[in-house]
Amino acid sequence: MGQYNLNRIFKPRQVAVVGASEKAGTIGNALMRNLVDGGFAGTVLPVNPKYQTLHGQACFESVSALETGVDLAVIATPIHGVVDIVGECVEKKVGGAVIISAGGKEVGEQGRQIEEKIRRIAHGGGLRIVGPNCMGIIRPGVNLNASFASEMPAAGNLAFVSQSGAICTAILDLALKERIGFSHFVSIGSMLDVDFGDMIDYLGNDSSAKSILLYIESLTNFRKFMSAARSVSRIKPIIVLKSGRSPAGARAAASHTGAMAGEDAVYDAAFKRAGIVRVDTIEELFDCAELMAKQPRPRGPRLAILTNGGGPGVMATDTLARYGQEPAPLDDETLQAFDAFLPEFWSRGNPIDILGDASAERFGRALAICFNSKNLDGVLVILAPQALTDPLSVAETLAAAIQERRFPVFACWMGGKRIATAVDVLNAAGIPTYDTPERAVRAFLYMVEYSRNLEMLLEVPPKIAGDMEFDQEKARRLIIGASDQGFMSESDSNEILRAYGLPMIRTQIAATEAQAARIAGEMGYPVVMKLHSPDITHKTDAGGVRLDLRGDADVGQAYRQIVSSARQYKPDARIEGVTLQPYFSNPDYEILLGAKRDSNFGPVILFGMGGIYTEVLKDRSLGFPPMNRLLARRLMQETKAYSLLQGYRNRPAADMQRLEEMIIRLSQLLIDFPDIAELDMNPVLVKDGKPVAVDARILVSPIAVPSSLHLVIGPYPEEDESHMVSVDGRRIFVRPVKPEDAPLFSALFKTLSPTTIYYRFFGTLKELNSEMLARFTQIDYDREIALVAIDEESETDNMLGVARIIGDPDGRTGEFAVLVGDAWQGKGIGSNLLEKCLSIAEKQGFESVHGIVLHENRNMLALGKKLGFDIKREPDSGDNELVIQFGGNRPSQDSPTL
């Protein structure tokens, strides 16, 4: 909505306070006091027709009386008057607004209608809005306190965004006590316009914010949120406290924000996919905040526990064990260093118990040894107040020891009055302090989780062997013909899954007892018989399953029993006969693979323990399309079933690659058909390693959303594939970049000359490291266009060139880059790739695309001129900025497209 740039809200030069007041105890008075007395360097403009001056400032009668182009309006009037005020802001070209006023959608339909009027006016005029029903915004670094919070926190590198004003005030109070600084402190309120996705994008591009904390009750634009979080979490940690885990909590959150909250497990899966760390309590959120704000992130989980008491060390160890970790083992060199000065009865292990008589000097020497170890990622220093240990001296030693060191150190000073002064010293030195070992360890492990998330985001998925083929037309015919009154028949469900290459057991329908006997004989005994009824979903509950039938007599008896049981279970059910399948005796494993359409996040894939105990054991994990082999493997790894599938006792391991492929095929089915509301393959039997689904059901429920827009993560844009012929007659396949392309990028880079590398990367570069490869190949198709040229005449995949346009989060502008291997330059490949990228950008609604080209790169300058770019010399660097505006006629290229 409107312009993406939020700088005029968060970096204003003029702030108008609408509803300013001199009356004590009012929000308008608090806003004026905070802005005027808080040292804001810009201009404060009070707006209230009741006053001529306020807080020493000339007061304006209305927004219309202000000069055109004020950066920010903070509105603190009753909600019913805000509609007209927003209209005045649009007329006066105000940059943005913070609406403090409550009484919107959180109070009911009348408030919702008011918000809708505000939204329409603001959207039409390009006015960005934070709120309503919020506390305001704070930027300590520029002394901006456009909120009614009573105190300004210290400046720092932590950004905090909250839906709840009450949570904001609580965190502020704790931050003042613990001396935690913030770059941004934002109460986002009801999110009429600016939402969490906008804030993540903005903070991701603001260098003053090094880490991002979010308190979320509900989300609005889910796809935008996921796109922003997946992008920013690669460069900055995002920590989330999402309330509403329980059904009662979700209802409370809905009544608070006026928005519906989805199933909590789906949020969990979404946060994991986006690389976000989720905490469970305000205490944990604050503990993470303190550690992130004060210390570098740990490289891994190897924690040293340095303590003067055995009990606290055991408590820390137990907490590590609860999260599947243990204290880092000490190597021989480290043990010898400790032996050299510690008393004979020290623990000789980790926890490093340096005994109850430990002096400040002993703590300092022990800490120095930990710093010098190559096998540790962080140190927790625990002090229990004892007669021979001075907490203050130890704190001062610790503060001195960490100066100019980039190594995660945090402290647990246990006790109360005796340790208060020592804790102040630690806080002043930037050392996080916790009152229990459990809190300290949890905070550390959350930071480790972020580091691991980052590693996973940088992993390159293995390539799928061969091409996957899907009979989309067959599946479409069956889905279009499905009734919207319930689940599809088992036979039709099986056929749809077969059309997408999923391994389904042979299944035949018998409408009569005689027909059942004939089919069973042809199929070969033993067989399985199941009820065939569109009205009964759970066949077992209706007595509709008979196993291991070994002859015609068994088949006849089973048929009669199934039909009778089904009629007793549901007298009005349509009984269309039975289905017969070969009987799998003693399968090695039973798993569940299915999907459900979430109202917020779209289709969600489920994997877990299958069979009749599925709902009892609840061993499941959730994921989102699109899937690749790496994501499919992670989905399975999150279940207890995964350990069994590796092989258990005398049972062989499952073919994990086939299971990965099943998940990927299911993912593609869900991408192609938004109307699939539920899908179950339960059980999927695994025998001798090979999986096969023996029961399936699909529920079709039409939705008015085209394919791909129903997904929370943009899928591979197959429609952007094309073919071309180069100037020298080489046939080339042009397609979007895939995550599996990392080896192709590395191979292309090795063919580049130093000059080509310099022109593309503006410097020397020896290789593409893992971070760069992940950045180039793991594309968010919602905000980046990236095409590669693949040689169709080569026996193996051979990448000849690549072009991309990286879009700004507003989707209006983007920056281009082109790279073609030296051997293939001058053959029309670069021009074809870039022109196709520009065509896609124009189709997606981009207004302009730009890029910087070195003055020496004459070929690129010539190509830019040929494609219609305006070329402008940069006065400082001498380089050239190329800009193309869409809307006019661009020159077309001669490279033929097949």
pLDDT category, 254, cuts 50, 70, 90? Answer: very low
Per-residue pLDDT, 257: 40
Q: Write the DSSP assignment of 207-272 as a string of letters.
A: TT--EEEEEES--S-HHHHHHHHHHHTTTS-EEEEE---SHHHHHHHHHHHSS----HHHHHHHHH
Q: Per-residue b/e over 567-600, b at no fewer than 16 CB within 10 Å?
A: eebeeeeebbbbbbbbbbeebbbbbbbbbbbbeb
Could you tell me what percent of the chain has a pLDDT over 90? Answer: 73
Q: Are 190 and 119 in contact (CB under 8 A)?
A: no
SS3 339: helix
Could you tell me what percent of the chain has a pLDDT over 70? Answer: 96
Residue position matching structure tokens 């190329």: 882
C-alpha dihedral, 297 to 303 to 307 to 312, nearest 10°:
100
For residue 14, list its beta bridge partners: 43
- Helix 82-91 × helix 109-125 angle, to 10°: 0
Q: Which residues contact 515 (CB under 8 A, 6 or more apart)?
A: 577
Residue bearing the bigger pLDDT, 485 or 453? 453
Per-residue pLDDT, 755: 96
Tell me the whole-structure pTM to 2 decimals. Answer: 0.88
Q: Would the pLDDT of 889 be above 70?
A: no
Per-residue pLDDT, 706: 81
**Distance in angstroms (rounded) separating the CA atoms of residues 114 and 75:** 15
Residue bearing the bigger pLDDT, 397 or 612? 397
Tokens of 178: 């613990």
User: Mean pLDDT throughout 376-392?
Assistant: 91
DSSP state of 651: B
Q: Would the pLDDT of 329 be above 50?
A: yes
Parallel/antiparallel/unpaired status of strands 303-307 and 409-413: unpaired
Kindly report the CA angle at 718 between 716 and 721, in degrees rounded to 5? 125
Per-residue pLDDT, 631: 93
pLDDT category, 150, cuts 50, 70, 90? Answer: confident
- Helix 391-401 × helix 420-428 angle, to 10°: 10
Q: Are 581 and 528 in contact (CB under 8 A)?
A: yes
Other C-beta atoms within 10 Å of 630: how many?
16
Instruction: List pLDDT tens digits, range 522-574.
Output: 999 999 999 998 888 788 899 999 999 999 999 999 999 999 999 999 999 99
- Helical spans, DSSP H, in 134-182: 165-178
pLDDT category, 613, cuts 50, 70, 90? Answer: low
How high is the mean pLDDT of the chain?
91
DSSP state of 820: E
**Distance in angstroms (rounded) separating the CA atoms of residues 425 and 431:** 9
Per-residue pLDDT, 325: 94
pLDDT category, 45, cuts 50, 70, 90? Answer: very high
Instruction: List pLDDT tens digits, range 825-857.
Output: 999 999 999 999 999 999 999 999 999 999 999
Parallel/antiparallel/unpaired status of strands 43-47 and 14-18: parallel
Instruction: List pLDDT tens digits, range 263-292.
Output: 889 999 999 999 999 999 988 988 888 888
